Every structure is written in C-alpha cells, then in structure tokens.
Amino acid sequence: MEIRPHRIINRKKTKKIKIGNIFVGGDSPISVQSMTNTLTTDHNATIKQIRELQDAGADIVRVSCPDEESTKALKKITKATQLPIVADIHFHYKRAIESAISGAKCLRINPGNIGSKDRIKEVIKAAKDYDCAIRIGVNAGSLEKKILEKYKEPCPEALVESASLNIKILEDNDFFNFKISVKSSDVFLSVKAYESLSKLYDYPLHLGITEAGSLFTGSIKSSIGIGKLLMQGIGDTIRVSLSADPVEEIKAGFEILSALGIRSRGVQIISCPSCARQAFPVIDTVKILEKKLSHIKKPMTLSIIGCVVNGPGEAAQTDIGLTGGGDGNNLLYLSGIPHNKVVSKDIINKVVNLVESKAKETSN
C-alpha cells in the first residue's frame, strides 16, 4: 500500500559516506544494524550469527575486537561474510589498526577511552590506507575525564562537546568518511544530544539508546528515543541495543522504521487487542501467523481484526485484511476489496497462502 501523505517525513540531508558496499547518509535508505554477542575468537560462531543477522535484514554488523586474537579472527570473518563489518574498539588503538588490516569496513572508536590525539591520528591513517569509515562513538558512560570534570555529570552538552572535539581531529587530518553517535541509556539525554548535534553538523548520525535493557523494556525505550528523532528527520542508521538475541534488534529496528512509513521489510500485521466481540481467537491467530510468515521479506501489510467495528476500515488500508463475522464466516479483503468468506478453522492456511502468493507476484 502507498504511504499516506501525513506519514511523509522530511529527512535532514546529510553527507553520504561509504561503509563497504553500503552508503549511509544523504539520500541513502536508513540502514539497520546490530552487533554480534559471540566470542569473536570463535570465528565460526560469529560468522554463523552474522549470517542469521543478514537473513533477518541487517545492513551492517558490528563485531567487538577486545584483543589481538579477535582482530586475527576478524580476517576470517570478513572474508566469509557479505555484510560490511564494523570493528568495535575500546582502550587500545592498535586493535583499530589491526582491524582495518583484517578487512573491517568501519572502525567504531570511543574517543573517551581510545587514548591521545596521536593515537587517534594513527587510527585515521589506517582508515585511509584500508578504505575504512570511522564512527565517533560518544557514550555517556565513558566521557573524557576533562569533559566530565567540566560538566560534573553526563549531559547533552557534554556529549556534543566530546563529539565536536573529535570531529575536529578527523577534519584536521583531512578525514571525512565518518558518522557520529552520542548515546546514553537515558532517553531524554540521548534525544537532546542528537537534536543539538544535528543542528551543528551535517555528518550522518548513528541513532541508538545504549544499554536500553531487555527485549521488552529496551524495545520500548528505543522506539521512543529513536522514533522521536526519526520523526524530526534526524538519523541515517539505527541500532536497537537489547539484552537479547541480536536478530531481535534487527526486527525491532525494522518495526520502528515501518511504523513511521520510512522503510518496510516483511509482513506488518495490524491486529486488534481482541474483546468479547471477536469472532475468532485473534491473539492466538496473530501469534501463529507471525511465525508462519516470518520468512517473507517483501514488504506487505496484513490486518487481522476480530469483528466488523474497525475491521472493514483497517482492511481498506492494507494489502490483505481479515474481518471477523458472525457464525464463523469471516471476510477476507484483497487490496481493500472484499474477496471471499472463510470459516475460522481455515483462517491460518488461507491467509498464509494468500501472503505467499502475493510475495511471489511482487518478486516476479
């Protein structure tokens, strides 16, 4: 279905940078990324997880490189995967250099703990030599000592000042293939920092609420923070940070983009919470359909409404719709037009077949 006019977001035009075969910023699609949680030294497990993330729709994957053994394993990992890999670097600048040599397409460095300006300059040289992008990853939990002493505690101004200082270092060294993040676990702090940073610079921004929490809590916090920024046209790539399977981060990321009409992947199910009017078990039906349709990658909307109060209206706005009817005679809609009736016991099979058929049609 077409995006309705009131859902159009005027996105801020930022510089376009390249991370492997993916562009971030400018007119590029807002990319969705995650991070592996396997031991990087276990390259087989890490490669397997990256492929799972790719299958879920990830555009970019970050891999932690805490030691030399990890950067050596990174060489095998980057050769075995199609997605651009971001090397996550903390404390030791040499790990960044090794990661660039091992095939990383982006180096994520936290200025607060990477070391002196000279060390950062060495990282910049490696990024230039091996065609790597850089992410300046400012985090409220690891600000530079001087900045923390100045502001006494993490605040939006502190995060933006940290980012500005490190932007200048990159610019002074004639390096511009970078993006920026200013993350905090506090939604308000993060949003304010990103809003301020967006007014000052036109470099692409990596959005996220760091250490957001569990699948349930973290998804809600991230949706509020990332969603608010995206609605203002701020943001070029996103990561939903969850204490959960990284695949769930990709799913949550696409749900946020889909809800805002920015980018869709797979079947978006619009369903009612159910009540005494329901003509079939809505909640169980939706759970089953989510599992059975999880393999569909083509963007599609599906409404599952238990009665005729809101059902026809929702069906008019979705690719496929189902409205509960009396005596178990439920009505199926295709592109908003009534199609045929289906008894409750046949709902699952009928809907799955229709969705799969439509997915094949749109792919041909």
Alpha helices per DSSP H over 109-214: 111-114, 117-129, 145-151, 156-172, 187-200
pLDDT score at 151: 95
Statement to judge: residues 252 and 304 lie in one domain: no
| pTM tops 0.95, yes or no | no
Q: CATH number of the domain at 282, please.
A: 3.30.413.10
Q: Where are the beta strands (DSSP E) in the chain?
A: 17-19, 22-24, 31-35, 60-64, 85-89, 106-109, 133-139, 178-183, 206-207, 237-239, 267-271, 300-305, 320-323, 329-334, 337-343
DSSP string, 34-53: EE--S-TT-HHHHHHHHHHH
Judge whether residue 114 has pLDDT over 80.
Answer: no
Statement to judge: residues 131 and 167 lie in one domain: yes
Cα separation of 13 and 221, whole Å? 26
Statement to judge: residues 128 and 69 lie in one domain: yes
Statement to judge: residues 150 and 223 lie in one domain: yes
> Pick from 259, 286, 309: which residue ends a domain?
259
Statement to judge: residues 196 and 277 lie in one domain: no
Judge whether residue 20 has pLDDT over 70.
Answer: yes
Work out whether the CA dihedral 150, 154, 156, 161 comes out positive or negative.
positive
Res. 364 pLDDT band, cuts 50 70 90? low
pLDDT score at 2: 45
For the stretch 49-89, pLDDT in tens is 999 999 999 999 999 999 999 999 999 999 999 999 999 99
Residue closest to 257 by CA, chosen among 9, 53, 60: 9
Statement to judge: residues 145 and 209 lie in one domain: yes
In a domain, 3, yes or no: no
Domain span at residue 22 reads 10-259
In a domain, 138, yes or no: yes
Lowest average pLDDT, out of 7-21, 225-239, 342-356, goes to 7-21
Res. 1 pLDDT band, cuts 50 70 90? very low
In a domain, 30, yes or no: yes
- For strands 337-343 and 329-334, give the pairing: antiparallel
pLDDT score at 68: 96
Q: What percent of the chain has pLDDT over 70?
A: 97
Q: Report how many domains make up the chain.
A: 2
CB 315 within 8 A of CB 333: yes
Residue closest to 62 by CA, chosen among 308, 250, 328, 204: 250
Judge whether residue 220 has pLDDT over 60.
Answer: yes
> Pick from 235, 259, 283: which residue ends a domain?
259
C-beta atoms surrounding 291 within 10 Å? 9
Question: For the residues 257-280, what does the mean pLDDT come to?
Answer: 93
Mean pLDDT over each residue of the chain, to the nearest integer: 93
Statement to judge: residues 208 and 336 lie in one domain: no
In a domain, 5, yes or no: no
Question: For the residues 231-254, what does the mean pLDDT come to?
Answer: 97
Burial class (CB in 10 A: 0-12, 13-18, 19+), 313: middle
Question: For the residues 168-192, what does the mean pLDDT come to?
Answer: 95
Statement to judge: residues 282 and 252 lie in one domain: no
Q: CATH number of the domain at 242, please.
A: 3.20.20.20
Res. 249 pLDDT band, cuts 50 70 90? very high
Statement to judge: residues 296 and 356 lie in one domain: yes
In a domain, 346, yes or no: yes
Statement to judge: residues 130 and 249 lie in one domain: yes
Statement to judge: residues 102 and 20 lie in one domain: yes
pLDDT score at 7: 62
> What are the tokens at 71?
């950067």
pLDDT score at 3: 46
Judge whether residue 194 has pLDDT over 90.
Answer: yes
Question: For the residues 143-152, what does the mean pLDDT come to?
Answer: 92
Judge whether residue 361 has pLDDT over 50.
Answer: yes
> Pick from 212, 238, 259: which residue ends a domain?
259
Judge whether residue 29 has pLDDT over 50.
Answer: yes
In a domain, 333, yes or no: yes
Question: For the residues 15-31, what does the mean pLDDT come to?
Answer: 96
Cα separation of 192 and 199, whole Å? 11
pLDDT score at 18: 96
Residue closest to 193 by CA, chosen among 180, 203, 211, 177: 180
In 3-state terms, the chain is what percent helix, strand and coil (to 5)? 45, 20, 35
Judge whether residue 6 has pLDDT over 70.
Answer: no
Judge whether residue 177 has pLDDT over 60.
Answer: yes
pLDDT score at 121: 86
Statement to judge: residues 160 and 239 lie in one domain: yes
Tell me the CA end-to-end span of the chain in Å, nearest whole number.
18
In a domain, 147, yes or no: yes
Cα separation of 221 and 200, whole Å? 25
In a domain, 244, yes or no: yes
CB 240 within 8 A of CB 218: yes
Residue closest to 270 by CA, chosen among 322, 193, 202, 219: 322
